[in-house]
């Protein structure tokens, strides 16, 4: 079986080997306060910064998931004011979570075919502007340049970016925002169970003024612990080790990015020029995600494609939320191999 589900997705082929190494080296039993763990934690953070081009001054925290990051931002960074800019189900979910904790936050909803115009996004100094960089539910993305311009237009705000299904797959301009987060079961090619939260010095400075210290995962508490490369609870040490091994083995992000774009272009040629029954949900190429493809078809066709795919050993992503019956999704994540994409294209040929 090869999984094209956009998370949890295909893991790197070497993950079982890394796991075996973790067992052989006693990593499954090491203490999360031990020197051994501190060395793993430090090395993983260094590799992440190096391979993904994250500014040296930014901090990285290990958490359990992207959902936890939604909560951390709501409790530790947003005091009252925030605006959530979104066009799909994950962005909306984030907004709803924040609203439960901070009822005064606002939303700015845009059409999934629409490219955001930064000059229309000037806010009256909300503390935090929240973007879903890659909307996994409908296969759209907000480009680096747009995030950069929104930052310029709102110099007093912090920018927080959900990059759960793009970090590790495409090059992100980390310097253009203050908070970024992702979980590892998407572009990092690992099993679920670990989230990464990336913060700028400006984000931490603001967190200090909010001064939330009520939760085990309050940002300031995470930061205190991370000063000695540790966490506030007993975390999944093995998964950090797996992440370390994956980050050691992957190419720098600019190179991974090129591969992903190249593969995306092949998928565009496949669906846009060859197919009548199967089409990109998103017609505007400028806003299409490079890592998550959402393909639209008649519900009966969607059903048939998914069922037949399974029989052929291929798992396709279900449509998400309201798009469940009219679409299926294909992950374009780095761990997927070229020959597997060829296999899927070959399979889909019968339906185009």
Q: For the chain, percent helix, then strand, then coil, each to nearest 5? A: 45, 15, 40
169 scored as a contact of ligand PLP (CB under 6 A) = no
87 scored as a contact of ligand PLP (CB under 6 A) = no
Stretch 283-322: interaction string toward ligand PLP, x if CB under 6 A: ----------------------------------------
Neighbours of 211 (CB within 10 A): 11
Q: Tokens 């949900």 identify what position?
A: 281
In this chain, which of 90, 267, 271, 280 binds ligand PLP, going by CB under 6 A? 90
CA distance 105 to 194: 27
Size, binding site for ligand PLP by CB under 6 A: 12
Phi and psi at 181, nearest 5°, equal -150, 160
In this chain, which of 162, 178, 212, 239 binds ligand PLP, going by CB under 6 A? 162
**Contacts for 80 with CB less than 8 Å, ≥ 6 apart:** 102, 104, 127
Stretch 115-154: interaction string toward ligand PLP, x if CB under 6 A: -----------------x---x------------------
CA distance 85 to 94: 10
Closest CA to 54 of 200, 244, 216: 200
73 scored as a contact of ligand PLP (CB under 6 A) = no
Residue 261, both tokens: 């774009």
**Window of 36-44, 53-61, 159-167, 236-244 that interacts with ligand PLP by CB under 6 A:** 159-167
C-alpha distance from residue 193 to each of 223, 233, 268, 280, 352 (Å): 20, 14, 32, 31, 37
In this chain, which of 165, 200, 327, 332 binds ligand PLP, going by CB under 6 A? 165
**Window of 59-67, 172-180, 224-232, 324-332 that interacts with ligand PLP by CB under 6 A:** 59-67
In this chain, which of 3, 4, 5, 7 binds ligand PLP, going by CB under 6 A? 7
Residue 319, both tokens: 């449509």
Q: Which residues bind ligand PLP (CB under 6 A)?
A: 7, 65-67, 90, 132, 136, 162, 164-165, 183, 195
């Amino acid at each position: 079986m090869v999984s094209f589900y956009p998370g949890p997705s295909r893991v790197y082929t070497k993950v079982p080997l890394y796991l075996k190494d973790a067992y052989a080296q006693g990593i499954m039993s090491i203490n999360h306060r031990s020197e051994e763990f501190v060395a793993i934690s430090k090395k993983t953070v260094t590799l992440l910064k190096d391979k993904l081009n994250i500014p040296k001054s930014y901090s990285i925290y290990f958490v359990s998931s992207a959902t936890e990051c939604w909560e951390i931002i709501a409790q530790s960074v947003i005091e009252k004011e925030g605006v959530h800019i979104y066009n799909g189900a994950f962005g909306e979910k984030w907004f709803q979570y924040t609203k439960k904790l901070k009822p005064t936050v606002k939303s700015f909803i845009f059409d999934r075919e629409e490219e955001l115009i930064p000059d229309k996004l000037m806010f009256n100094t909300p503390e935090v502007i929240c973007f879903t960089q890659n909307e996994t539910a409908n296969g759209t993305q907000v480009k680096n340049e747009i995030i950069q311009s929104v930052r310029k237009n709102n110099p007093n705000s912090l920018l927080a970016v959900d990059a759960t299904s793009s970090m590790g797959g495409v090059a992100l301009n980390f310097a253009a925002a203050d908070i970024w987060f992702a979980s590892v079961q998407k572009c990092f090619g690992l099993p679920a169970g670990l989230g990464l939260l990336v913060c700028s010095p400006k984000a931490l400075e603001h967190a200090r003024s909010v001064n939330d210290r009520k939760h085990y995962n309050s940002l300031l508490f995470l930061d205190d612990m991370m000063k000695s490369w540790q966490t506030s609870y007993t975390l999944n040490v093995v998964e950090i080790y797996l992440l370390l091994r994956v980050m050691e083995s992957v190419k720098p992000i600019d190179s991974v990015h090129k591969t992903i774009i190249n593969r995306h272009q092949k998928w565009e040629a496949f669906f846009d020029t060859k197919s009548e029954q199967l089409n990109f949900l998103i017609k505007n190429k400028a806003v299409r995600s490079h890592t998550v493809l959402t393909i639209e078809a008649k519900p009966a066709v969607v059903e048939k494609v998914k069922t037949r795919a399974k029989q052929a050993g291929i798992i396709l992503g279900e449509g998400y939320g309201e798009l469940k019956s009219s679409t299926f999704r294909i992950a374009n994540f780095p761990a997927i191999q070229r020959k597997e994409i060829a296999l899927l294209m070959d399979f889909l040929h019968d339906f185009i």
